[in-house]
Every structure is written in structure tokens, then in C-alpha cells.
Structure 1
Amino acid sequence: PTDWAFQALQSLVERYGCIAGYPNGTYRGNRALTRYEFAAGLNACLDRVNELIATATADLVTKEDFASLQYLQEEFSAELATLRGRVDGLEARSAEMQANQFSTTTKLIGEAIFALSDSFGDNAAISAATLRNNPNAADRDLDANTTFSDRIRLNLLSSFSGKDQLQIRLQAGNVINNNDASLGEASTGTNMTRLTFDNNTSNSVEVDKINYAFNLSEAIRVKVDANNGEFWENINTFSSPFASTGQGAISRYGRFSPIYRQGQGGAGATISFNANGPLTASVAYLAGGRTNTAKNPLDKNGLLDGNYAALVQIGFQPTKAFNVGLTYARTYQNSAGGVNQFEATGSSIANNPFGNVATSANHYGVEASFKLTSKLLIGGWYGYTEAEAQNTGTTRFDGNGPTGFNVIANEGDDATFNYWGASLALQDFGRKGNLLGFIFGQPPKTTSNDANIAGGRGLRDSDTSYHLEGLYRLQLNDNISVTPGLLVILSPEHNDSNDTIYVGTVRTTFSF
């Protein structure tokens, strides 16, 4: 305490309050300290004086104090240099840790759907081709009972950098497809009546999805699907808020344009470009389809020799309210992977225009959404497809009818198809989170086809089906919603001879 250096520092501390680390704000100079500890106190006083100078209050610092500080700096220059070097190093390491702080974590996000459903109408649907082959085909009563079923999904989402995501999804369910032939008289006879959440694993758990997404740059994001890849999960479908199986449309067709179902279930990659402007772009490739033949090394299988879908999309959003997309997809499906052109959203002829003969197709689509107000959203899509038979063959065609028949296709045979849909969504109707929605459209229809039924009769859809859907989602809280909905199919299977079929459901969704 009698040392000059101590007395000088004590005077500075008392005058400028540059050490206030003790609870009572006092400077306890009667404690022994090292030269480095003394240098730390001196450094604090130097910083305080520099603050006073920077705020134009340097006149508060006397000449005597400046002289004392200069002397103390010279006396403890070595300790101050060492101290500042260590502090600079600590600050650099701290800054690096703050900039890169991230710990690998895995989040569990789950969804459980309970569904009460029923299908009803006078008769089940019969394909137009069935009637052409057999005009006297007998009607089949539609006799379905009310069902209660479930579908569960558990998503394990992991990140290794904070900007990437590894998804592993487990799924189990017992929601039977309304067009399942095994249902007999309970089958509706058409895929147009399928529910959006149907999935039947007899409640056995399956690894449903494995994919990894990461940023290649600030404007480019890449997603690699190893299992059950789907374009609609990787790119904009312009159909929000109807795209979700748990919160959106109740029907398979009502979610979005069928062009996004191409390649469904395959393995591949999607690259999305977004430069924070009105234009966006996506390119994607999925191989293997729903049977995932991308993993099979045999002929007509694998990543490049089997079923595939390649898609390109340009999006344009000039305002926050208006969004439009142009989409093109090139597909190839063969007998090894199975032919199903629109993935069970249209008529049986549209899905298998040449039977199970290898088929290539060009798909063109335009999609748009427009937010009229903060609560009212309209949207829609139109699609056109040109398909070609890749070889000659005769295959058996069941056609959703009571009897099957042979389809004769020659290599080079062409077929054309179209489809469209329009939607209206009123958000927060009744209370926040609710959704009142309507969807009207025409499922995929075969407008021309060179292939024939045995006997020379044409294999095309001569009439037009219409899809009418209404739903009202009640958001009970952040985790539970209840959605009653009704699906009406007029002239199912694009066949005016068929009676209207109705499908009603009450979907309860738990999100956690």
C-alpha cells in the first residue's frame, strides 16, 4: 500500500471508477496481487480514460493523472502487452465460437391422423373402355361401410451445420384406398375417389423417407432423395394451403397438379435456384418410381435404365400476392417398374393408355395462385400431356370393371391428355387457424389414343368427369385440428353412364 504505483492506481480508481468488480464497488488494495493482476487494473483505467477522451470530456482528466498513467504504462509495458495479447486471442476465439456455434441435434416432429370415412352412391364406377368392350357389362352396387382408420408419421430431422437437414421419416397406417379391388362391393371402382392420406401398411412401421438437403451457395439449395422422393415436397406447387395431407385437401387430386406426382417414390436429386428476386427455378430427377427400381441392377431398372422423371420449373412472383409457375416433365415408364401415368389421379385409361407397354411422355403445366386479400386465396392449374408407346404389345387391361380385356398397342402410338383444377381458400374463417376451402376440376382425361381394344374399338375417355370438393378445417389449438370434408365425383371415370359417387370424411390431425 505504500508503493507509489499502488497509490497512483488507487487514486485513478477512486477518481474514475474504473474498477467496480466487487459487490460494494470498493477497491481492496490491501490484498496481495501479482504484476499481471495490477496490469489488468491499470488496463481498465486506461480504457476508462480513453472513453472520456472519445466523448469529448477529456477536460475531466487532469495533467497529473495523464502523467501517472504514462509512467505506469512504461513501468508495466511488458505485462500490459502480454495481457492484451491474451485478451485479443480470447476475443478472436470467442468471436469464432459465436459465429460457428452449433451442436448436432435431432428433432422429432410427429403427425397422427384419425379418419372417419364413408363412400356412397348407387353404383360403383365402370371404365368407359369396359363399356366399349362390353356394352352390356352389368352394374355393380356400391356397398361400403363407414370406416375408422389412422396414419402415423414420425419425422427425425437432423442438422450438422444449422443450414442443412437430414430427414428420416417413419410411417404406419391402415387407411385403405377406396379403389382397392380387394374391397369387392365396397370399392368405388375409380381412383378419382381416393383420399389424400390413404396408406395401408396394416399399421406396420416402415422407413418411408430418407433425404438430405443442403445449401450449395446462398442462392442454390440441393436435396438428395434416397428413398420415396417426391417433386411436390421439393419445389413450389402453387397450391398452398391445400398441399398438406394432414391440414389441406381431403382428396388425392385436390392437393395440387398431377404433374408434381411424376416420378413419385423414386430416388434422385432436386436443385433449386432462388436469387431473392421475382424469378426462381428448379431442376429435378427421380428414378425408379413407386417401386423404387433405382436400387435394382437388373436390365430395365437402375438409376438410368428404368423408370424416370425429369422436371424443370420456372417460377415468377412479381408481387407478394401473385405467383405463377411453368412446369415441364419428361417421363419414361416400363413394365418392370409399372406404368401409371398420373399416379392414380385420373381415369384408368389415362393412367394406362397403352396397357402396361413401355410409355414415354411429355408433360406441360401452368400453375398460379393469387391472394385477393389477406384471408382470401384463389389458385389453379392446367396440364397437358403427350404420351407415346415405346414398343408393340398386347396387355390385359382390367379397367376398373367387372371383366378385363386386351389392349393392343403398336410402337409409336400416341395419346393425349388434359386436366385442370381451381381452388378457393378462406383462411381464419370463424377463428384464427381455420380454413374453409373449395376445389373444382377435371381429373386427367384421355382425349385421343391410337391404341385400341381388341376388335378395333378406341381406348379413350369420351365423356368428362368433374371433381367437386369442400372442406372446413377447425383449428382447435396449436396441435389439434378437425376437418370435415365432402368429395363429389360427377360422371366418374369420364363416363356419363356412371352414377355420382360421394366420399365423406372427418379427419382429425394431431401435430407434435
Structure 2
Amino acid sequence: MTKRFWNLIKISPVLVATTFLAANSALAAEVNEKVTNVAQLSEAQDSNNIGQVTSVSQFSDVQPTDWAFQALQSLVERYGCIAGYPNSTYRGNRALTRYEFAAGLNACLDRVNELIATATADLVSKQDLATLQRLQEEYSAELATLRGRVDGLEARTSELEANQFSTTTKLVGEAVFNVSQPFGGDRAVAAATNTSARTKLNSNTTFSDRVRLNLYSSFTGKDQLQIRLTAGNIVNNNTGTGATGTNMTRLGYDVGTADNSVSIDKINYAFNFSDAIRVKVDASGGELWENVNVFNSDFSSSGRGALSRYGRFSPIYRQGQNGAGLTVTLNPNEAISLTGAYLAQNTNGTTVNAFGANNPGLNNGLFNGDNTIFGQLSFKPNKAFNIGLTYAHTYLAGNSANNLFQSTGSAFANNPFGSTFNNGVSSNTKIESNNYGVEGTFQFSPKLALSGWGGYTTASTLTGAARNAEIWYYGATLALKDFGGEGNVLGIIFGQPPKVTGGNIRNVGTNRNLDRDTSYHLEGLYKYKLSDNIQITPGVLVIFNPENNNNNDTEYVGTLRTTFTF
């Protein structure tokens, strides 16, 4: 091919210039180079915006001393079938394939035919036409292949358009199969509970599931409407008389029901207000951990992350759970991100929250019921290190199910002012809390990452007897990536779930702080990538001194989770 090519160049400068043309205009028809980074993607996108030129002097990288200058000049001025990049460069030294050459040649042939049709054939010499004819014959096979490929793409596109689910919506699904068994000695009890009559923990093996179907719609290309359907029967390990007796053993993907009934549990719409501002409006099921960075990307997902509830991220992101509201994220540059949010809890499924933001008959609504005001500043000085400072102010309007951390940690830490622990304190006490957190992640190498969090909460009553509590917690995760194979992750998670460490909360009978001891959370898991769409995760969860009571037996939860994505 090389010898024939250079022999043809001797015939006419048209061939030389066509070679340069193909290096540019053919990119719009076919990009043969694999895009592996953002810079290449940007260059490929630029190549689709090649503009026609009227003078060779418009190319900043083409000089009169260049060996092909006259050929380029002839093609531009005589035929007008040459184009350049948007930044006024021609990039004449770029290598090209035979397909690209054929596409460029075809462009010139189309231009010649146009000139003939408009009675300007005198601009084309017989010698040039003979050359073009020889070129067309020489590359007839490539031109036919190119036309065939285009015809094939058009046929496939037509078929997809005729049979696709929607022109604006795509379906993304996840199915979790879970085999699990908690085991240990006696069920855990709170420190204030009479421990003389304990019951054995039920250690039966269970097999359960959770399925989620997400409908993602985009109307501008930079926005997203999400509607999620959920069904499942993975029961909370703390549910029932034979269970573990503590929420510390909860899995990160339990659904709280046992009938696999289908419900729409999440509706939201996100869009770009500008290049630096992202806005998300939650109508139902809003959760802070899905709206902001939680600094634990290897384990934050419920279906593909940590096995436990506590191991996914800091409890501060549980504030305002299942709410409606607004989240705004500002990214002025790659190093700094600032997020502000407001979420108010809704009536959720069949469990009626008497202070829901979506019930006008309860005299609470969006602003007077349970709500959270949230802010987070994250700083990423380099690709390896990222740190966040987080604050959340939460108001609980006196629901009997007051729950500071949405059942993460000890029962006392989640509702330190309930009648169970304070001998007659009203169950509808209004509560406010100020939550402070620091989170961070450090990427030692592409295959080793360390993440962690620490949090401090002050909570106080707004009605009834004046009470206050101080609560601490922390956690750390270690991820060994590509361990035993590409895409696999070996994880270790350790921490202290929320624990009441101070305040004037006292049991009337014992006059002592109820969370007198310390619970520890230890988790080991191995995320095995069976394929791009199937992940198998075996692991074990160990809770030392459950419910912050060292009189309780250590509890274990063995789990095998299989996650299908489609």
C-alpha cells in the first residue's frame, strides 16, 4: 500500500492534500483511538466540531515552507473541501488509517460532484479528475466497507429507537440475595434492664432478598429525575423476641419488612444551576448519604459496600432520613466543595410518622415537624487525601419514636430521653440536637485506602423536664483493592457506635449514666467480583459489649450477600 500511495502522490497534489483532510474530517465519522482519559475525551469531542476554512493561512500550524503547503492551498481555494480544528490548527503530522483516508477522499469526491452539478466543472482539471478516479478505484473496497458500516449503524439505531423503553429514561436495577445467621449467647439488654431473666438468642439461618428498580430520566442531558421502587423481606436483626436485642447487629441493607411488597420509596430531581452549583430536590425518601460525599466510597453502598449498618458511614449522615427537602452543592474548584441541605421527614410507607412533612392535616408540615439543617465543607488538596467537616442541627417534634441516629448505636444513644430510661419522662418530648463530625479518606496507593470518621452530639429536651446528653462515636475502614483479583476488595471495619458519655441523664434507681460501658464494632468482609454484574460478599460482624453493657455476651452475624446489578 505504501508504494502505491507515494506513486499516486506524484500524479497530483490533490492526493497529498486529501491525506491531510482525512486526518481531520474523518474523525467525525470514526474515532479509532481508545479514549482513556479526560484529555483524550475532550480532544475527541473537539474533533467532532471541525470547521470549514477558506484560506490555508487560517491554520496556525501550517507554514509556507511546509512540503504540502501548495497542495493544501490548492484544495482550499479550488475545491473548498478541507477543514481544521476549532483552535485553528490542522495537525498535519497526525497518522491516519485507511478508513480515515477513504472518508476524506469521499468528502472531496462529494465536493467535486457538487461543483459539477452547479456548472463549475471548469474548476476541475481533467488530470485531477483522472487522479480522483484512480483513487476511487484504488480504495473502492475501503469506501464500500465504510458505507456498509454506516448503513449498519443506521439500521441498529433505527431498531433501538423503535424498541427502546423511553427516549429519556433508563432502567437500572439491583437485586440482593442474603444468607445470614446471628449467633452468640443470650440476647443483649440495656444496662438499665433487669438481667436476671435473660433469653437465648435465636441463631436460625435466614435467606432473604431486597430488590430495587431505579428509573433515571434526563431532559437536558445535565439533569436527572429518579424514581425508585423497592421490595424486600430482609428483617432487622433486632426484630422479634428471639433476635439479637440490639440494633448494633443490623445489616446495611435490611428493609424492615417481611412481605416483599413493592413501594415507591424515593423520588427526586437534580440539575445544574451553573457549572459550579448542583441542586437536588427530594420529594420523598431523601437521604443525606446519597446527596453528599460520605468519605467511605469503598463501603458506603448498601448493596455493594459494608455488610453492617454502622460500617457504611458516619451516623451523622442518618440525620433527616427519609425526608423531603433541598440539597445544594457548590464546587468552585476541584479542591473545595461546600454543601447545604434541609430535609423534613415524611410519612413513610405504611408506618405513619405523626409529624410528616407531607400531611397538611397534622399542623406540622415541611418546617414545623421533624427536620434537619445540614452543612458540610470538604477539602481535597490532592488526589490522595480528602477531609470533611460536617454539622447538622436536628429537631424532633415529640414523636414517640424519637430516634437521633435512626437506630444506629445503642437504644439509649438513639433516644436518651424516652420513658424507658428515665422513669416517666414523657414519650412525646421535643428534642433538638447539634451534631458535629469530621471525616476523611487517604489513598495510600491505588490498591490501599484508609477512611474514618468521628462524631460528637449534644442533645437536649425542649419540653418537659430539662435533660441533656452528650454522645460520641468513631469508626475506621481499611480497603485492600484488587486483592486476589481485579475488582475484588478485602475490607476491615472497626469502631465505636454512638454512646452516651455525659449529660444529666440518670436512671432514677441507680443514679448513674446508663451507657456505662463501651461497645466495639468489628467487621471483616471480602467483596468478590464474579463478573461486571455479579458481586459475592462473605463476611462476619462482631459486636463486643452490645448496648454498651459488658454484662452482655459478644454477638456475631455471619453473612453471605450476592448482589446482581442490571
Aligned counterpart for 2:559 among listed residues 500, 505, 511: 505
The sequence identity of aligned pairs, in percent, is 54
CA separation of 1:50/1:477 partners in 2, compared to 1, >3 Å: closer, same or farther?
same
**Counterpart of 1:177 in 2: which secondary structure?**
coil
1:356-392 per-position Cα deviation (integer Å, ceiling 9, x unaligned): 3211000000001001111000010000000001111
**Counterpart of 2:453 in 1: which secondary structure?**
strand
Are 1:342 and 2:395 matched, yes or no?
no
TM-score (norm 2): 0.68
TM-score (norm 1): 0.75
Q: Which residue of 2 aligns with 1:161?
A: 220
Is the CA contact 1:104–1:161 (under 8 Å) kept in the aligned structure 2? no
Is the CA contact 1:285–1:311 (under 8 Å) kept in the aligned structure 2? yes
Q: Which runs of 5+ in 2 are unaligned?
A: 1-11, 19-51, 79-114, 120-165, 419-426
Is the CA contact 1:299–1:305 (under 8 Å) kept in the aligned structure 2? no
Distance 2:211 2:241 in 1: 26
CA separation of 1:479/1:359 partners in 2, compared to 1, >3 Å: closer, same or farther?
same
Are 1:441 and 2:491 matched, yes or no?
no
Distance 1:338 1:283 in 2: 26
Q: Which residue of 1 aligns with 2:259?
A: 202
Q: Which residue of 2 aligns with 1:304?
A: 367
Q: Which residue of 1 aligns with 2:183?
A: 120
Is the CA contact 1:118–1:144 (under 8 Å) kept in the aligned structure 2? yes
Shift of 1:460: 2.7
Q: Which residue of 2 aligns with 1:257?
A: 314
Are 1:330 and 2:393 matched, yes or no?
yes
Shift of 1:144: 2.5
Q: Which residue of 2 aligns with 1:268?
A: 325
Is the CA contact 1:129–1:349 (under 8 Å) kept in the aligned structure 2? no
Are 1:384 and 2:456 matched, yes or no?
yes
1:273-308 per-position Cα deviation (integer Å, ceiling 9, x unaligned): 112231110000100266470102245621010000
Are 1:285 and 2:339 matched, yes or no?
no
Shift of 1:109: 0.4
Is the CA contact 1:104–1:159 (under 8 Å) kept in the aligned structure 2? no
Distance 1:497 1:235 in 2: 38
Are 1:315 and 2:378 matched, yes or no?
yes
Shift of 1:48: 11
Is the CA contact 1:209–1:229 (under 8 Å) kept in the aligned structure 2? yes
Q: Which residue of 1 aligns with 2:244?
A: 188
Is the CA contact 2:398–2:430 (under 8 Å) kept in the aligned structure 1? yes
Is the CA contact 2:56–2:72 (under 8 Å) kept in the aligned structure 1? no
Aligned counterpart for 1:468 among listed residues 497, 511, 522: 522
Shift of 1:208: 1.1
**Counterpart of 2:366 in 1: which secondary structure?**
helix
1:410-432 per-position Cα deviation (integer Å, ceiling 9, x unaligned): 13x11000000011000110111
- Give the letter for the 1:169 counterpart: R
Aligned counterpart for 1:174 among listed residues 204, 211, 233: 233
CA separation of 1:337/1:127 partners in 2, compared to 1, >3 Å: closer, same or farther?
closer
Distance 2:532 2:275 in 1: 32
Q: Which runs of 5+ in 1 are unaligned?
A: 1-13, 21-46, 66-75, 81-102, 393-409
Are 1:496 and 2:550 matched, yes or no?
yes
Aligned counterpart for 2:436 among listed residues 353, 356, 364: 364
Distance 1:58 1:501 in 2: 81
**Counterpart of 1:157 in 2: which secondary structure?**
strand
Question: Larger radius of gyration, structure 1 or 2?
Answer: 1
**Counterpart of 2:317 in 1: which secondary structure?**
helix
Is the CA contact 1:353–1:459 (under 8 Å) kept in the aligned structure 2? no
How many residue pairs are counted as aligned between the two chains? 409
**Counterpart of 1:240 in 2: which secondary structure?**
coil
Shift of 1:454: 4.5
Q: Which residue of 2 aligns with 1:351?
A: 414
Is the CA contact 1:16–1:48 (under 8 Å) kept in the aligned structure 2? no
Distance 1:359 1:227 in 2: 23
Are 1:457 and 2:515 matched, yes or no?
no
**Counterpart of 2:192 in 1: which secondary structure?**
helix
Distance 2:323 2:401 in 1: 13
CA separation of 1:493/1:216 partners in 2, compared to 1, >3 Å: closer, same or farther?
same
Distance 2:364 2:335 in 1: 39
Is the CA contact 1:438–1:470 (under 8 Å) kept in the aligned structure 2? yes
Tell me whether 300-309 or 263-272 shows the greater mean CA deviation: 300-309
Distance 1:454 1:59 in 2: 94
Shift of 1:104: 4.8
- Ranked by relative contact order (alpha carbons within 8 Å, sequence separation 6 or more), the top structure is 1
Q: Which residue of 1 aligns with 2:208?
A: 149
More strand by share: 1
CA separation of 1:137/1:296 partners in 2, compared to 1, >3 Å: closer, same or farther?
farther
**Counterpart of 1:304 in 2: which secondary structure?**
helix
Q: Which residue of 1 aligns with 2:160?
A: none
Distance 1:468 1:318 in 2: 31
Distance 1:201 1:242 in 2: 25
Is the CA contact 1:377–1:425 (under 8 Å) kept in the aligned structure 2? yes
Aligned counterpart for 2:536 among listed residues 444, 464, 482: 482
Q: Which residue of 2 aligns with 1:72?
A: none
